């Protein structure tokens, strides 16, 4: 009992330091884990996974836009579940129990469903039972750890537990108590890392979850995210390499610490911006987009370069741009593609063509970020949504997002300490 209390005291103290105090960079944690794509091709309908990813992307973009006080113009009848594009598996507790979480760069909270559960969705792993773990510790209300989130409150049952209620823009929600627990991060290809983390044990949860996950692992920039809790111990760095949606390989790589290094030939970097009022999101500043050699500058009057004007997000499939800006890009693309235009069977994308085969030529699009020109081949900006129907994977919106299709086959590194985001073109299927 004395040893357990000592562990809990050290755990709480370590977490308070991790969440509220500056530290010297130690780069103790360096590991790699796998991201498993939610949507994969199937033989019965080779395009359904593409349609699902596109529609889920729109729903997710709506949620992010609400959180960032923006708006979108998508028709509500096209909204489907928005539970992210990738999952990652970790272990928590002693003895370790599996936890499959949606890897979400657009949110911060780490949470999983816990016993006892009064309202839970079907999930990938058995629900976590805190009573079976020797390293689990409830966070009490009126403590520093309970104060790190604005959504916490005290339980009304006399136990004075730190409770949390969090909802997402698509109607998904979780209600539970905040706790600390030992997490084991990593995979068979790297040395696992064991670290105490603050998370929510959810007892009432629901919404658009489809049973392929147990909760969410927030990778945003807010104080309780996995990235922030690892902090300087991982050098403030993480990177990922996403395989194309058309690939039969289901897994991509997510790296932390020294493993997240992005260097060598072909690397370009741009400032990584975290706004004081929106720490969760990773902003970049987009100056222009070129269609082949035709450069189209973003209209004036938007946010300044030091505020950023587009969020990079691995959980949103499409890339969304301001309407007037997008319309110019669409016109330039339509002019350069010598194929008949057709309607999108998914009823989401604006620019689609009839045609297939090696003789079809599509333009390169170059995204001109502040200090970094990222040239995207056709694979990153066009996708087949039906037999012989290929569409541009950009859309118009008042809320700008740089989505995962544009990021595939790039090693993308987030360097929080040095406020830099790097792109390196690679074949992610080889990682």
Residue 116 preceded by cis peptide, ω within 30: yes
Q: Is the confidence at residue 25, as pLDDT, over 50?
A: no
Total number of domains constituting the chain: 2
Active site residue 313: yes
User: Counting beta carbons within 10 angstroms of the beta carbon of residue 401, is it exposed (0 to 12), middle (13 to 18) or buried (19 or more)?
Assistant: buried
CATH number, domain with residue 91 = 2.40.70.10
Pick the more confident residue, 335 or 345.
Answer: 335
Q: Is the confidence at residue 79, as pLDDT, over 60?
A: no
CA distances from 215 to 41, 64, 202 (A): 24, 18, 9
**Per-residue confidence at 188, pLDDT binned at 50, 70, 90?**
low
| The one catalytic residue among 214, 232, 313, 415 | 313
Q: Is the confidence at residue 104, as pLDDT, over 50?
A: yes
Q: Which of 178, 210, 241 is the last residue of a domain?
A: 241
pTM: 0.86
Helix (H, G, I), strand (E, B) or coil at 332: helix
Residue written as token pair 């989401």 = 348
Listed residue (53, 35, 44) closest to 246, CA to CA: 53
Which residue range(s) make up the domain with 91?
2-38+83-241
Task: List pLDDT tens digits, range 247-256.
Answer: 777 789 999 9
Q: Is residue 232 a part of any domain in this protein?
A: yes
Helix (H) / strand (E) element for 335: namely helix 323-336
**What distance in Å separates the CA atoms of residue 316 and residue 167, rounded to the nearest whole number?**
18
**What distance in Å separates the CA atoms of residue 60 and residue 80, rounded to the nearest whole number?**
9
Structure tokens at 193: 């890392």
Q: Is the confidence at residue 166, as pLDDT, over 90?
A: no
Listed residue (139, 1, 170, 141) closest to 74, CA to CA: 170
Structure tokens at 3: 């040893």
Active site residue 83: no
| The one catalytic residue among 39, 104, 232, 415 | 104
**Per-residue confidence at 10, pLDDT binned at 50, 70, 90?**
very low
Task: List pLDDT tens digits, range 291-316.
Answer: 999 999 999 988 999 999 999 998 88
Tell me: do 224 and 266 sit in the same domain: no
Tell me: do 311 and 232 sit in the same domain: no
Pick the more confident residue, 2 or 284.
Answer: 284
Strand order in 319-321's β-sheet?
273-275, 278-284, 310-312, 401-402, 319-321, 394-396
Tell me: do 271 and 387 sit in the same domain: yes
């Amino acid at each position: 009992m004395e040893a357990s209390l000592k562990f809990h005291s050290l755990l709480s103290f370590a977490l308070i330091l991790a969440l509220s105090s500056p530290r010297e960079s130690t780069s103790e944690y360096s590991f790699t884990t796998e991201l498993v794509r939610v949507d994969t091709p199937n033989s019965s309908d080779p395009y359904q996974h593409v349609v699902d990813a596109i529609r889920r992307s729109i729903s997710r973009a709506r949620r992010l836009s609400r959180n960032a006080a923006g708006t979108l113009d998508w028709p509500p009848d096209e909204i489907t579940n928005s539970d992210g594009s990738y999952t990652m598996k970790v272990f928590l507790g002693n003895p370790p129990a599996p936890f499959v979480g949606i890897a979400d760069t657009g949110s911060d909270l780490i949470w999983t469903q816990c016993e006892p559960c009064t309202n839970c969705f079907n999930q990938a792993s058995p629900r976590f039972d805190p009573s079976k773990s020797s390293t689990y510790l409830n966070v009490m209300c009126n403590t520093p750890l309970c104060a790190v989130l604005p959504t916490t409150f005290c339980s009304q049952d006399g136990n004075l537990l730190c409770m949390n209620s969090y909802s997402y823009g698509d109607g998904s929600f979780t209600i539970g108590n905040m706790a600390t627990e030992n997490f084991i991060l990593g995979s068979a290809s790297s040395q696992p890392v064991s670290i105490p983390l603050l998370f929510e044990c959810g007892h009432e949860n629901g919404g658009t979850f489809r049973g392929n996950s147990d909760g969410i692992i927030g990778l945003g920039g807010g104080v309780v995210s996995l990235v922030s809790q690892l902090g300087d111990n991982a050098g403030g760095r993480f990177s990922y390499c996403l395989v194309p949606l058309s690939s039969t390989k289901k897994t991509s790589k997510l790296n932390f610490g020294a493993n997240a290094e992005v260097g060598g030939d072909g690397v370009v970097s741009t400032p990584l911006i975290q706004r004081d009022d929106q720490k969760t999101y990773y902003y970049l500043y987009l100056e222009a987009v070129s269609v082949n050699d035709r450069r189209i500058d973003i209209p004036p009057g938007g946010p300044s370069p030091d505020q950023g004007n587009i969020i990079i997000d691995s959980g949103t499939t499409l890339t969304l741009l301001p309407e007037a800006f997008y319309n110019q890009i669409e016109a330039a693309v339509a002019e350069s593609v010598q194929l008949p235009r057709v309607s999108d069977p998914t009823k989401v994308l604006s620019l689609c063509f009839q045609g297939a085969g090696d003789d079809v030529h599509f333009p390169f699009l170059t995204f001109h970020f502040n200090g970094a020109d990222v040239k995207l081949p056709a694979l990153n900006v066009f996708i087949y949504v039906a037999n012989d129907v290929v569409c541009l994977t950009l859309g118009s919106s008042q809320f700008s997002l740089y989505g995962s299709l544009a990021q595939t086959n790039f090693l993308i590194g987030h360097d929080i300490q040095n406020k830099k985001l790097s792109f390196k073109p690679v074949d992610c299927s080889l990682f």
